[in-house]
Structure 1
């Protein structure tokens, strides 16, 4: 089998073929010629990524140990040579489960249990290999047994959350019909061939040619791999991403198999620092290191995975120690923890309870951004007895003002949804000197300001040199359920990256297949297969079932959309965002009773979710049940006092009921939040005109005429009075 790199400028439809397990010969075969590399790899995190549970691999204490967290008591014990746990199962009752695999090495080790239908589940309770104790991965997070996040369900499922990166040549083999797996792998752990590719052809060539052998590209991640290519190849497992292909088979590039998570709220801080568990790629691509061709192996030994040097010697490979490794630069006592480069420029966070991971964006501490956006900074992060005001004052005293504009100054204002933040995002999108992931993230985040306002900007970005930017632009325009942009999406069916092609296909959902031009028909049919391959392979994820539903919404097939949303809710029955969308679908499909029941269900689950009361009120108003609508809107105003749409609709309903005083009160309340809101002002003028308060109506209309002089309706209304 031949594995070829893809020319970035050409459209290439990859084979998608699965590499036979027999092409992976195992690390013992590699050892025959690469003894030194094998010995370095042996015992590493890659070597111990996954093991069969036995007396050698299990590090935890299973000597009838009890551990209690969040009201659940687990007992760890042995039976003969086997390891067991008695803990809460998917039915809320305790059961005995056999440990079949271990996961990881240090600072924690997890344990895997086999469930019916090919499911393998990772226990929520893990073993701290440093402190030698059991601990809860999420001690402050209560999870009910029926939730997707329960260890026995999707959130800690090995097949879809872990396997692809912890073993070699993984095929998930998910069957949506019965929600089952037949997951296979060639080698249980991350062996040599997980990174370098299957060895069969390589070994065959070496054995055939002997000393005449010359590498012909059959191996990956070699000394000839460019720095940025190497980062992408490592990123396959070291990034948060969506999977595009059915299996990873070394064809093409990263974006032919995965699309990375961009910098967004709840996953990253507003300035781009790590927040949720996003791994390394998204932060490293922000860095000047990456832009200047520093790659993973400049710091990490590729086989042991350990750092190449201790302390500041690692950074001194590139940064002159006489200039940087001195109190004149870092203003801390030499040879202390405070003087280490990484503690100022590479802060970190604990994940999974005890796993400290550093932010790879390598940034200057910015206490000023902490004051504006609540993002962390190394200064107050280390000086626990001080606050961000002190940190910013100290920064200015030591270094003066910030001496260069960093992308975070602009990105943060956009992620924080500041009034003028969209201007900064547009500037970042168009600035090709900025990191690619920053430009793509700015493109994605701009959609929070209403895509309809930036159509021309997005259309321009569809032809950007960066595939990440193109992908983010397609995603943004696809939020609009229209076929208006088909002429822009059609050429993208021939994009060089599979991840961009399938996004374009989704964007074309509202465009009738029968209208696809002949010039794109062949490409459309090929990408159609790629799209459904992605959907079917990943339908064990809630988000994929929702996306399938959204595709059918674009197609106007609401029954199929509802089916897929109901299917998504079956996987995660506490996901109320799905319920909100499902209720809207029921409403649009004239299934009013189901819509009402669903909104009530949301209110029952999340009584503080104001949007559910508001949506239920609109439903009641549509059905002519005005009194019930008013009750729900009154509740919504208490939960969402700043939501002017609630005030507006409540005012209209009170006006309809001839209760002019309450109508006036509601509309004025909205104007306290948004004094120039056009809809509120017009509605209030109408209420005054209908309740014999013409002078008040005139005052409001004069204000409207002043604010919106091009709207003749307001002047005509004023003239009538």
Structure 2
């Protein structure tokens, strides 16, 4: 697993509180129990002594060990030395984005001289290495237990230094700089690159005391701690019978195996304090849904999202194909080369022919994966295929700008050509794919909400697609669909339930919060915690007695989740949002201010913080914060709009008008800009400018009720009675049930 994917989207990795870490060191009587039937899990940390290491496993499982040795899991993380470092540290220099890094050795140790968090160059000792091919990364130690991954990596195929993100300039003060949160090993990498990780983050000091049982991804990282297993084998000898304690065995059901692998092969948010093999995936993590900037509108990969979100869209997953059908569980390599891999299930005589794929045999174009698994390059040189295994749809590319394998290979052709060629070869598409409903919704096409509502209620569709449709529907008028969302709180899919809670949490109306109460006893921890957040508007004493015990338990789970992930900006913001629900605005301000402490150029934090300052009548701080946003992001229209509302509140009308005019240039489609600007001109008795502004807005939306009403009001106020009457008559025609307009007309 790498860092960039998780850093761009603020994904949540595991953390263990120091208090619990110290206590677990004394718990040598820890018992491994199967708690999958229990709603509330123990949350206990497994002592390192219960992980015996790969050499112990090798004694009985030599063949499996031989396959695993040298694999990407084996080389997931290693101590930096002459045997593990692949890169050239013989006084080599590499320059990218204006930064020169100098790689050299001091005795047996490896060093880099590069820009640090202060923008100046320093010498850093390489402590750990990550991976082997197609690249290897290098980790250095910082104060307070922080370990940071260098942005410059080694291309182990071409044997050269390269920039992981050559087109992405980052300065030293940004969170994404290698020396800061974006490439921090403790929260971005450790959970998946080592075994039995406890991050041990201290929010008060912003420090770590991260521990792990085994440095790499060894046998027990996947199968679970081996101590009890070895004890049982020693005691029972030839009479030993498996008790089902281990994970990822030959008896693991296909979809369950995918969930177990998904722990490290998906973009996700963490909900447990540590991964301790209790429960299921959704007791520890909640996956990233198919959303803009992360996935294409039709669900194809875009940003680094790994495999889970793609594979669970596929027909293969729906038909119980699992990871180990294609990949050897221990070498991680494909079981067969070329089309022979797909021929395990798909008859070659039918599919591996020019009649099917329309390309010459034994060419790159004739490979199944070329059409059905087009991929993207991440981290500079790491090509990863899309695991949704979809049929190319160039017709959707024409409609929504999504990629397709046809024009992806035929670079000299466009999507229109690809769509026509596809139809000529295979005929018109004769079935409806979920993307035909999801893509219009994500790209906000007219009336696309109807397709989203259908999609999220179609039980035969992939769960992650249904949940993503729920999330996409939140881009529309959410209050109009409350009944649709509340119905899904009882859905059999936990991912769908979780997405529905998230959307309902966006609505200011609290009438539906009672629907969350049963979810305090949901079988999945992630859903319970989401529901608790939604209940934040309620006082604990108002929770019905029947739910009080569960409420207190989930309260503990919620705050563990918050404390565990407080080294992420998003979690500090989430804490602030919860405190807002509780009415604790000044505490919420502190939480948002602490988020700026770890990412001081994050404007989303400032937008919310400025609103809090405004709501607590700290107008000077609100104004200063808005101006800081403008300084960092001068083309961000909404901030000018917000600043204008602040000035209007302070009766600084000229300043408010000035900001709204800037907002109008940046957001010419935003009706509220014209509405408020017209009212401000009216306040100054400048009726001509008010009229001109509203008419300009009506060119964007000529039936907008608010604009028409304001225009009629301005005409009436400026003694243009006939114009006012004509506008009011239009309002009555458009909205015949509004008696206010008839009364207005009679007054005129």
**Aligned counterparts, 1:189-268, within 5 A:** 189-268=216-295
Q: Deviations over 1:105-163 (max 9, x none)?
A: 11000000000000000000000001111111111111010100000000000000000
Residue 662 of structure 1 aligns with which residue? Answer: 689
Contact preservation (8 Å) 1:110, 1:122: yes
Residue 32 of structure 2 aligns with which residue? Answer: 2
Residue 193 of structure 2 aligns with which residue? Answer: 166
Residue 382 of structure 2 aligns with which residue? Answer: 355
**Aligned counterparts, 1:616-695, within 5 A:** 616-695=643-722
Query: Which whole-Å CA distance do the structure 2 matches of 1:549 and 1:337 have between them?
Result: 52
Cα distance, 1:691 vs structure 2:
1.7
Contact preservation (8 Å) 2:35, 2:41: no
SS in 2 for 1:112: strand
Residue 169 of structure 2 aligns with which residue? Answer: 142
SS in 2 for 1:448: coil
TM-score by length of 2: 0.95
Residue 95 of structure 2 aligns with which residue? Answer: 68
1:176 aligns with 2:212: no
Q: Deviations over 1:167-206 (max 9, x none)?
A: 0000000000000000000000000000000000111111
SS in 1 for 2:474: helix
Q: Deviations over 1:288-315 (max 9, x none)?
A: 0000000000000000000000000000
Cα distance, 1:421 vs structure 2:
1.2
Which one of the candidate residues 519, 523, 534 is aligned to 2:561? 534
1:708 aligns with 2:738: no
Residue 338 of structure 2 aligns with which residue? Answer: 311
Query: Which whole-Å CA distance do the structure 2 matches of 1:134 and 1:716 have between them?
Result: 75
Query: Which whole-Å CA distance do the structure 2 matches of 1:267 and 1:594 have between them?
Result: 34
Query: Which whole-Å CA distance do the structure 2 matches of 1:603 and 1:335 have between them?
Result: 57
Cα distance, 1:5 vs structure 2:
4.7
1:25 aligns with 2:79: no
Q: Deviations over 1:336-368 (max 9, x none)?
A: 000000000000000111110011000011111
Query: Which whole-Å CA distance do the structure 1 matches of 2:552 and 2:457 have between them?
Result: 33
Query: Which whole-Å CA distance do the structure 2 matches of 1:385 and 1:403 have between them?
Result: 28
Cα distance, 1:682 vs structure 2:
0.4
Query: Which whole-Å CA distance do the structure 2 matches of 1:653 and 1:263 have between them?
Result: 41
Query: Which whole-Å CA distance do the structure 1 matches of 2:128 and 2:430 have between them?
Result: 52
Query: Which whole-Å CA distance do the structure 1 matches of 2:719 and 2:419 have between them?
Result: 58
Query: Which whole-Å CA distance do the structure 2 matches of 1:640 and 1:627 have between them?
Result: 20
Contact preservation (8 Å) 1:620, 1:628: yes
Query: Which whole-Å CA distance do the structure 2 matches of 1:482 and 1:502 have between them?
Result: 20
Cα distance, 1:594 vs structure 2:
0.4
Cα distance, 1:692 vs structure 2:
2.2
SS in 1 for 2:475: helix
Query: Which whole-Å CA distance do the structure 2 matches of 1:463 and 1:175 have between them?
Result: 37
CA distance 1:481–1:710, change in 2 (3 Å): closer
Indicate the structure whose relative CO is greater, using CA pairs within 8 Å and at least 6 residues apart: 2
Cα distance, 1:484 vs structure 2:
2.2
Cα distance, 1:451 vs structure 2:
1.9
Cα distance, 1:485 vs structure 2:
2.4
Which one of the candidate residues 405, 416, 441 is aligned to 1:378? 405
Q: Deviations over 1:202-239 (max 9, x none)?
A: 11111111111010012110011000000000000000
**Aligned counterparts, 1:314-713, within 5 A:** 314-713=341-740
Query: Which whole-Å CA distance do the structure 1 matches of 2:452 and 2:657 have between them?
Result: 39
Q: Deviations over 1:589-630 (max 9, x none)?
A: 111000000111111111101111110000000111101100
SS in 2 for 1:462: helix
Cα distance, 1:2 vs structure 2:
2.3
1:283 aligns with 2:313: no
Residue 94 of structure 1 aligns with which residue? Answer: 121
SS in 1 for 2:452: helix
Contact preservation (8 Å) 1:481, 1:554: no
- More displaced, 149-158 or 420-429? 420-429
Cα distance, 1:574 vs structure 2:
1.4
Cα distance, 1:271 vs structure 2:
0.2
Contact preservation (8 Å) 2:663, 2:673: yes
Cα distance, 1:90 vs structure 2:
0.1
Residue 327 of structure 2 aligns with which residue? Answer: 300
Cα distance, 1:3 vs structure 2:
2.8
Q: CA RMSD in A?
A: 0.8
Number of residue pairs aligned between Structure 1 and Structure 2: 718
Which 5+ residue runs of structure 1 have no aligned equivalent?
none
Cα distance, 1:516 vs structure 2:
1.3
Cα distance, 1:245 vs structure 2:
0.5
Q: Deviations over 1:430-482 (max 9, x none)?
A: 10010011111111111111321111011100000000011001111111245
SS in 1 for 2:114: strand
SS in 2 for 1:210: helix
Cα distance, 1:570 vs structure 2:
1.4
Query: Which whole-Å CA distance do the structure 2 matches of 1:447 and 1:486 have between them?
Result: 17
1:103 aligns with 2:130: yes
Query: Which whole-Å CA distance do the structure 1 matches of 2:646 and 2:428 have between them?
Result: 54
TM-score by length of 1: 0.99
Query: Which whole-Å CA distance do the structure 1 matches of 2:185 and 2:695 have between them?
Result: 55
Task: List structure 1 segments (4+ residues) > 3 angstroms apart after TM superposition.
Answer: none
